[in-house]
Chain A
Amino acid sequence: MTPAPRPDEPSETEPPDVPGFRTWRGIYLFVFGWFVLVVILLAVFTGIFA
């Protein structure tokens, strides 16, 4: 049968254990910021070459 649910799974508040980040929200913000930066760089690339 399917194993029982895991009530003790680390929650949102558990630190991600990544240098420079104390919360998962920080990592999500970093990834979102990276995405915005990539779009800006692609727009600049388009402006230079297209």
Chain B
Amino acid sequence: MNVADWVVLLGTIVGIAAYGAWRTRHVRSLNTYLRGNASTGWGTIGLSVMATQASAITFLSLPGQGFESGIGFVQNYFGLPLALIVVCAVFLPMYRRLNVYTAYEFLGQRFDEKTRLLAAGVTIYAPAIIISTVLGWPLNLVIVFTGLLVIVYTVTGGSEAVALTHKWQMAVISAGMVTAMVVLLLRLPDGLGFSGAAHVAGALGKLQAVDFSLDPSRRYTVWTGVFGGLFLSLSYFGTDQSQVQRYIGGASLREGRLGLMFNAVLKIPMQFVILLLGALLFVFYQFAPHPVFFNQAEWRRHAHDSRFRAIEAQHATAVAQSQSAIRAWLQARAADDPGREASARTTMIAAGDRTREIRAEAKAALAAADPRAKTQDSDYVFITFILTQLPHGAVGLLVAVMFASALSSKASELAALGTTTTIDFWRHFRPLAAGDEARNVRVARRFTALWGVLAVAFALFAGFAENLIEAINILGSIFYGVLLGLFVVAFFFRRVGGPAVCLAAVIAQALVIVMYFTLNIGYLWYNLIGCAACIAFSLVLQALLPPRARAAEGRAG
């Protein structure tokens, strides 16, 4: 990175954070601090919802997913538009009618802060480790810088500052991703173009966007996406405070609904484009020199002996052969000779398989050299492209994309944590202070700052798995289904009391965990299973409980 990159990076990231803090420095109303400005329109709400979900992991990991496994991951989002329709029609009107600050306030149960701390730590740690590795910056410095920046404006302006900065962060993210796509298309070999690159990617198995297979062991199909993804998205958008807080405020019910519909329309196309970028990166690297293992810092740490040199040499040869095979196939296609094309296609696929085998050998060699070595490198593909292929200035912009997305998701988490701790925890024990608005705002600020410091500390000392976008979706699928079940029971089964639903949630969660470790089914199904199990157990337990306990529950509820 040169001076131009640094100017762009610091100008955008620090500038947006400073703007958010400055514009919201006079926020004194608890309502504005916790729910945002009451005049917020649907555009801001929509971008804020989008920015909250789009963490830095999205922009580092998704292109890597497209590069490694193709664009089938897009099916993961198929349930999202349907879930947002349900949130608009059922959840949002309910939250607004009850005029609550948090989703958990409605549920009447306190929030699990440990889980949220883990999520908050992940959103800081994940991009920090990748950015610091590739740029050679000290990891702890990146974590502390990112953390402090987000704490300053989130503590200052609360939810209003979060929504305000989200707009500009999404503008930076969009500009950066469009720039990356344009540069990638311009850097493709002469004569290949988008269509040629897409045909190569497709022939090499990277462009199967939809899979209608009914095999339950397949991770991404239309059915896991629509049914499992529906429940995952319903839990995330309907019950996760970091999202609920984005749309619960706003000028009116209409603004919240339109903001959510904005996401329902745009989310799948947006994720498709990012995954497609990864698949096209795969094609680009068939024609451009690239390392056998994209996390070069990790490779250089372990790859010292002749075995690694041999792997590098084999990889260079295999890439050259693959490149020749691709060119031969393209020529056969252009000549419109089906026989020659089929033969060239077989050769090209075999050459691609050979390259993949050598990459697997490289990872095995790393693991053999050091069992603790990080052997996943797909998250490093996109940032390697950014740093080696983009012009100066654009590099700064793309690194700013990573930071902007890290800050945007982090800010939502912190604002949500500060809100739930103040409303669901502190005020529970200090009911007499509930009427003192100024004191409530001060307490919310302190809790937000405290959570920010804890998240930074957690990120400094914790370690996480790599390839995070999938890991986070798996974790979410294990726990979100039961959480959604709690809300569905609360919404629609009014006769079910607190103890019955609590016990049901514990049993359902245990069931999901046992199933996860014993069955081989796509993880998205656990969203549906967890929700259904929680509802079913709640109804059964409510019927089985002694009448006196049921009466006590009714009064308690």
Contacts and interface: CB of A to CB of B under 8 A. Distances in A.
Interface of A: 1-7, 9-12, 14, 16-18, 24, 27-28, 31-32, 34-35, 38-39, 42-43, 45-46, 48-50
B96 interface: yes
A39 B212 CA distance: 11
B272 interface: yes
Contacts of A50: 202, 205, 207-209
Interface in B44-95: 74, 78, 81-82, 84-85, 88-89, 93
B408 to A, nearest CB: 24
B434 interface: yes
B268 interface: yes
Given A28-B88, A31-B264, A35-B268, A10 B207 contact: no
Given A1-B434, A3-B31, 11 more contacts: A1-B427, A9-B253, A14-B254, A16-B257, A31-B265, A32-B82, A34-B264, A35-B78, A39-B210, A42-B272, A49-B207
Contacts of B97: 5-7, 9
Given A24-B89, A31-B85, A31-B261, A45 B252 contact: no
Contacts of B254: 10, 14, 16-17
6 contacts: A1-B431, A2-B100, A6-B99, A24-B88, A35-B264, A38-B269
Given A2-B423, A14-B254, A49-B201, A31 B208 contact: no
B199 interface: yes
Contacts of B431: 1
Nearest to B99: A3
A46 B257 CA distance: 32
B198 interface: yes
Contacts of A48: 202
A34 B269 CA distance: 11
A43 B98 contact: no
Given A3-B31, A14-B254, A27 B99 contact: no
A10 B254 CA distance: 8
Contacts of B78: 35, 39
Nearest to A10: B253
Contacts of A12: 89, 93
A45 to B, nearest CB: 6
B101 interface: yes
Contacts of B341: none
Given A9-B253, A31-B261, A49-B207, A42 B89 contact: no
A45 B258 contact: no
Contacts of B209: 42-43, 45-46, 50
Interface of B: 31, 74, 78, 81-82, 84-85, 88-89, 93, 96-101, 105, 198-199, 201-202, 205, 207-210, 222, 252-254, 257-258, 261, 264-265, 268-269, 272, 423, 427, 431, 434-435
Contacts of B201: 49
B105 A2 contact: yes
Contacts of A11: 93
Given A24-B257, A31-B85, A2 B99 contact: yes
Given A4-B99, A16-B254, A45 B31 contact: no
B105 A39 contact: no
A1 B423 CA distance: 9
A35 B77 CA distance: 11
B426 to A, nearest CB: 13
Contacts of B265: 31, 34
Closest 5 CB pairs of A and B: A49-B202, A1-B434, A42-B209, A50-B208, A35-B81
Given A2-B100, A32-B82, A49-B201, A39 B222 contact: yes
Contacts of B89: 12, 24, 28
Nearest to A46: B209
B280 to A, nearest CB: 11
Contacts of A14: 253-254
Contacts of A2: 99-101, 105, 423, 434
Contacts of B434: 1-2
Contacts of A46: 207-210
B99 A5 contact: yes
Contact of A31 (B81, B99, B202, B253): B81
Contact of B258 (A6, A18, A35, A39): A18
A17 B254 CA distance: 8
Given A16-B258, A32-B81, A50-B207, A9 B93 contact: yes
A31 B82 CA distance: 8
Contacts of B272: 42
B404 to A, nearest CB: 26
Interface centre among A5, A35, A48 (most CB of B within 10 A): A35
